[in-house]
Chains A and B, each alone.
Chain A
Amino acid sequence: MPTTASAAHPLTDVTASDSTLRRFLHGLPGVDAVGLEARAASLGTRSIKTTAKAYAIDLAISMVDLTTLEGADTPGKVRALGAKAVRPDPTDRTTPATAAVCVYPDMVAVAKEAVAGSGVKVASVATAFPAGRAALPVKLADVRDAVAAGADEVDMVIDRGAFLAGHYMKVYDEIVAVREVCGTDARLKVIFETGELSTYDNIRRASWLGMLAGADFIKTSTGKVAVNATPANTLLMLEAVRDFRAQTGVQVGVKPAGGIRTSKDAIKFLVLVNETAGEDWLDNHWFRFGASSLLNDLLMQRQKLATGRYSGPDYVTVD
């Protein structure tokens, strides 16, 4: 079961006031962008073959939060997605289910029904996703709706405006408030929208801020901006959860979302996990991919490994 970060830990004092929080976040070690990107790229050159590849593909499938977050989402679309999540490859029952489906709050009930009994979780974005530009009561109502409809997981967005304006305590308080609404029923994923935070230093600060506020997962992005998950920003967040656990004993998950489309990419991310946070995170309880088209590529690769032939889009289902 998830360890909630709300328990007292050695960093509790950090959030005592706006100024202690600011001092703490600004006191985190800086990030050298070139060095970070070089490390991420070098891990990207790991060559994963044969048994390791088969393992990695199944692991990646099991980590997918299969996502649809469109204005055009309908119950039909969500039901199809749910079916796909439960049985990604109808021709091969050994294929693992995905971790979750990820939908808007008003689709949670439909999704819940579609995956009922399968163990696949339902995640709901909330807090005025994706911009987060709404008053706190509205955001909390959004979360309450999702949880009431049965969401197992809530993917909230932080107030990037407040963060960039330096109002860290405001961001923190909002996460804590959402955390309270989630209660023990739903795990909380905190989305930073790294593309809007822009600098790696900000991403590191946001990671610690989110973890201090009780996030179960820290998540890169909404998928709605130009730059979403990258190997570098995910590596940076993996360093953060690694260091947070070392200091507090609390383990937090990581979810890169948006822009991961191929098996090759997904395996690179798994290498990042393996060599940065370590094998404790190599499990869908602690690492997820926020993605939609990724799943079909993983399935095609899986078929290729099983049959030795290259597969094609007509041999996997259209969501």
Chain B
Amino acid sequence: MASASAFEYAPAPESRSVVDIAPSYGLFIDGEFVEAADGKVFKTVSPSTEEVLSEIAQAGEADVDRAVAAARRAFEKWSALPGSERAKYLFRIARIIQERSRELAVLETLDNGKPIKETRDADLPLVAAHFFYYAGWADKLEHAGFGVSPKPLGVAGQVIPWNFPLLMLAWKIAPALATGNTVVLKPAETTPLSALFFADVCRQAGLPKGVVNILPGYGDTGAALVAHPDVNKVAFTGSTAVGKEIARTVAGSRKKLTLELGGKGANIVFDDAPIDQAVEGIVNGIFFNQGQVCCAGSRLLVQESIQDELLDSLKRRLSTLRLGDPLDKNTDIGAINSAEQLARITSLVDKGAAEGAEPWSPECELPSAGYWFAPTLFTNVTQAHTIARDEIFGPVLSVLTFRTPDEAVAKANNTQYGLSAGIWTEKGSRILAVANKLRAGVVWSNTFNKFDPTSPFGGYKESGFGREGGRHGLEAYLDV
């Protein structure tokens, strides 16, 4: 990828020694690490090397019962605490995460495969900021616009994905605790470690037992959790298919549900765009976290009149991306999270080629061990292609063209999803007009993939419902 010039950066690996991973971890229930009732365990591996990192207890139904019961017991006291006291616990958590951010960044990179540059500069700062933000809400809820005395819901069952393990945990746990709920959280089976380290952060913060419970496991563990009759609130981030299954599960109950699901974000580049920044935005939009991002700008809609110029620039830029050891501080593209995900990306890319789209990748040597996929862009893509419709969740960009703003909007909206979109133009009125017409929950204009705890995030249509972040994010955890 990066050309072998005289200025070839030497490897600059972040030290692994800042993190001490135990050979095995239990479930975190009622303030204790415990084995699964049925003794089941599973292994978590480093996707960049396939090295086994640790052996993790796998929660079953009995464990879900135990954890929900613990959360229920804890709820009474936790919800009765003055908001200012809950706030202080959350501020403590935010600070401890800041203190341990190097350790947690390395851990996340090991377990997830994403570059240390991202865990260090994006994931961890956002995790701490999220706790800091919601901490401040805990004693101000009566001013949040949800009634004069908003009440928590009870026990929140939360299921999170593997793409931003600790950040998604923060998005779920911070507002839940701030509003006085207790939680049972299931991390993804391929990335359980940072959630288990978070349990230790809770211990250091002195968080009361049972307020946070962590149940590693597979899909069946999550299904048992969301179906549990004593859960009052279900929050899920993951695939649209599973989201629909969860919506059916909670139908007819009184459980409050929020879903943050898939996307097929359109990144629209007009002919008057700031081209160099647009190229950066496109790269950031689809190659951030190897494209394993629900709000990725996976469809590039480029105005036909500048297609050649833009694609030349984009290809040149892709050839400077550095793929390799995620712990190397100079790595731009890390490993795909799992063999399963790699297989899914590969099959969709094969389909794209079979359907007549033209793939292109920069010269790129992939490491022999681990799960890797070279950054890829497809040209000659139409709306009818599978790769223009299905979420690939990988470093694969589908390039489509448009002629007029109307056509751009029509194509951008022509999807079952509605999570994110991008607009690149120097014309202010066009930004506002197009942003207004896009059916998407987050619109980035002249930027992409920006996140902030104060900024509500969530989708239209089949990208889910409810918002996480900001004042809006409180609603999901309040009885309103």
Contacts and interface: CB of A to CB of B under 8 A. Distances in A.
- Chains A and B touch (C-beta atoms under 8 A apart): yes
B200 interface: no
A239 interface: yes
A282 B7 CA distance: 8
Given A45-B121, A47-B330, A48-B12, A31 B7 contact: no
Contact of B7 (A35, A36, A52): A52
B320 interface: yes
Contacts of B446: 32, 34-35
B314 to A, nearest CB: 14
Contacts of A46: 9, 329-330
A181 to B, nearest CB: 34
Given A45-B117, A47-B330, A31 B6 contact: no
Interface in B290-319: none
A37 B19 CA distance: 33
B31 to A, nearest CB: 39
A51 interface: yes
B340 interface: no
Contacts of B5: 274, 278-279, 282
B320 A275 contact: yes
A278 B330 CA distance: 17
B329 A45 contact: yes
Contacts of A53: 10
Contacts of A239: 276
Nearest to B120: A45
A30 B278 CA distance: 10
A91 interface: no
Interface residues of A, number: 29
B267 to A, nearest CB: 13
A274 B319 CA distance: 12
A47 B12 contact: yes
B120 to A, nearest CB: 9
A315 interface: no
* Residue in B7, B12, B447 with the greatest tally of chain A CB atoms within 10 Å: B7
Interface string A26-65: 0001111011101100000111111111011001000000
Interface in B138-180: none
Nearest to B3: A279
B10 A51 contact: yes
A contact face: mostly helix, strand, loop, or mixed? helix
Contacts of B330: 46-47
A270 interface: yes
Interface in B428-458: 446-447
A279 B6 contact: yes
A55 B7 contact: yes
B10 A29 contact: no
A246 B299 CA distance: 27
B128 interface: no
Nearest to A36: B277
Given A35-B280, A45-B121, A30 B272 contact: yes
Nearest to A34: B447
Contacts of B229: none
Interface in A251-296: 270, 274-275, 278-279, 282
Interface in B413-438: 426
A31 B277 contact: yes
A50 B13 CA distance: 12
Contact of B273 (A29, A47, A51): A29
A35 B6 contact: no
Interface in A138-180: none
B208 interface: no
Contacts of B273: 29-30
B135 interface: no
B325 to A, nearest CB: 12
Nearest to A239: B276
B426 to A, nearest CB: 4
Contacts of A236: 276
A52 B178 CA distance: 48
B20 interface: no
B113 interface: no
B281 interface: yes
- Candidate in B6, B276, B281 with the most chain A CB atoms within 10 angstroms: B276
Given A52-B8, A275-B320, A282-B6, A36 B329 contact: no
Contacts of A30: 272-274, 426
A36 B278 CA distance: 10
B275 interface: yes
Contacts of B117: 45
Given A34-B447, A45-B117, A48-B12, A274 B7 contact: yes
A49 B447 contact: no
Contacts of B280: 35, 38-39
A31 B424 CA distance: 11
Contacts of A29: 272-276, 426
Interface in B76-123: 117, 121
B335 to A, nearest CB: 19
Interface of A: 29-32, 34-36, 38-39, 45-53, 55-56, 59, 236, 239, 270, 274-275, 278-279, 282
8 contacts: A30-B426, A35-B277, A35-B280, A45-B329, A46-B330, A55-B6, A270-B7, A282-B7
Q: Which 10 interchain pairs have the tightest Cβ spacing? A: A35-B277, A47-B12, A279-B5, A47-B329, A30-B426, A32-B277, A32-B274, A29-B275, A52-B10, A50-B10
Given A29-B272, A29-B273, A47-B12, 10 more contacts: A30-B272, A35-B274, A35-B276, A39-B280, A49-B10, A52-B9, A236-B276, A274-B5, A279-B6, A282-B5
